Structure 1
Amino acid sequence: MPETLLSVKELSINVKNGNERNTAVSGVSFDIENGEILGIVGESGCGKSLTALGIAGLLPKGAAVSNGSIVFDGRELKNISQDEFRKIQGKDITMIFQEPMTSLNPLMTVGKQVAEGLKIHYKLTDREIKERVLKVLNEVGLDRVEELYNSYPHQLSGGMRQRVMIAMAVICRPKLIIADEPTTALDVTTQAKILKLLKDINMQYKTSILFISHDLGVISKLCNRVAVMYAGSFVEEGSTESIFYNPIHQYTRGLIESIPIRKNKGKRLVSIPGKVPSIKERKCGCSFAPRCQKAEQKCFYKKPKSIIFESTHRVCCNLAVGEGEECVI
């Protein structure tokens, strides 16, 4: 039986705005098993990246975890000191960011940046460190690694820089990689190669991956399970197959219908009307109600509860009927 590596329960994150604190992430719960890839998908502004940063202990100034539990490998991360957290960051939990050009240090060579995690977490000689760096650069599909070792980020293509970021993330053989939209800035061909690389790393090292994206097409190619996020909360969660072939929430359906497919070539693209409400605009009831074509009066004042469908598929919607039975909207 698979073991739970990460268990997040009722996670809420507040963001300071002047003298006010607004809730940006509200009551998010999910588990990631050892060797599993979980995708979190949603539009920009839904709280995906903030959730990831909260788990990694990298929240920006003004943002803070206000409620909930984050248990990683049996340890409650909220209760450990900063020094203890630093021993986990970069070793057991690592991150791959969206834009490598702004994440890599332009003044440091590639070799030094990839080696940084090893220097912090392990006692190795300079020769041993260099050997490991060259090996991992090869593993992530980079050529001429000796030359690359002494190169600077600006001398690399976008795809090469992203592979360097992945090398930095895997060199300490972490238990969990958090990938925050790592393929967004890449062309389609390079994107496919990076997705295959992440899948290979997952299969080879049994590394769990939390993959953040706004693109359901990308999620479908990589993830075992999917959580759909809207306005700071999960609205639907299930296996990738269940989410794609039996979407229940109207937001999930809208995201799937908006994916461009070959048979619709030349036709007008489907879009979801309206926009994600800002943290100041979020009111009681269902956050998606103002954009939902099937919303009823109760949707605007009644907060939806989580309804379970087929044991592994759950949805938060006032119009869904379920609790173990088929959910129908």
Structure 2
Amino acid sequence: MATLHVAGINIDWTPALGTGPTPPVALPTYPFQHQRYWPQTAVAGVGDARVLGQGSADHPLLRAAVSLADGDGVLLTGRLSLSAQPWLADHAVLGSVLLAGTAYVELVMYAGDQVGCALVQELTLQTPLVLPEQGGVQVQVWVGDPDQDGRRPVNVYSRVEGVEGSWTRHATGVLSPQAARVPAGLGQWPPAGARPVAVDGLYERLADSGYVYGPVFQGLRAVWRAERDVYAEVTLSEQVEADGFGLHPAALDAALHPIGLAGLLDDDGAVLPFAWSGVRLHATGATTLRVRLTPADDGGIAVAVFDTAGQPVLTADSLVLRPVTADRLGAAAPDAAQSLFTVQWMPLPGAQPDTASVAAESVWGWHGQ
């Protein structure tokens, strides 16, 4: 009878239920008074750094921050992976996907901003960070106590996720509270008397030299040469968001591509950023850049980045580059042998290159160590 009732059949319930000593109770005439079971206020969730006793870091590459208990230092942490940040895969050198040298600058500038140090006085890149194809890399940016002048040491470390082992220090430097000197704005663009430099086929030629840049890092649009200075125009790809970055690493990296194109380097081999000095961020949010590169007295390159209105975005007193070899990058790669689960191609001895053997190798030739 209940089934018929809910199906829409009019049922006379009197024979089944009877009238009883009292008449049936009518439904209430007022709205249903309900109370919400779930809380309405925001609470710390599983992905919130506060659950772990840390503070949140509002940066795309750094998600948590904690003040060190034994002083005035700060530790910022994050996780890098090609799945979470696919644009990182667009920066490969000599067959290895590397964290761009400009990313260290971005991480350290953000850390300096958290402790009131706007100037990256020094930053030396010691070991390349080779990103694994699978899994992620844990990253730490450590900022130490200030000295009597307010300067702080800073280090950048990483460790492959899921592999027990020591941390690798990739960069070390000094942060300073010294007020940033704001340079004069950039005037006429392109500068008067500057000669255009052809950029057609640039990234194909760079690939032949070992620099394989994907679309996100192919931001160079035009180059000019005027005496000692080299000027360039760079646009950040629409495939990535600039929100949260001081200056997106892909945009700053593309701003350095004219160094080799315009003959500012004598070495024809592959080079990577080695030492930065006097780096200051003046504005955020720029995605189209005008760049001036000038040989510095220390053998490096002075870098000045402006927006389309000619206002300064970032300046660096000097960037020194050093040669790099494939052997060194291979030594810096995560050690797959430390993992219990790796995939290797094991050819069958004596197998003939016919259809049956190829099929057999495809099915049975993969072994996990």
TM range (shorter): under 0.3
Larger radius of gyration: 2
Higher RCO, Cα 8 Å, sep 6+: 1
Task: Pick the structure with more helix per residue.
Answer: 1
Task: Pick the structure with more strand per residue.
Answer: 2
TM-score, normalization by structure 2: 0.22
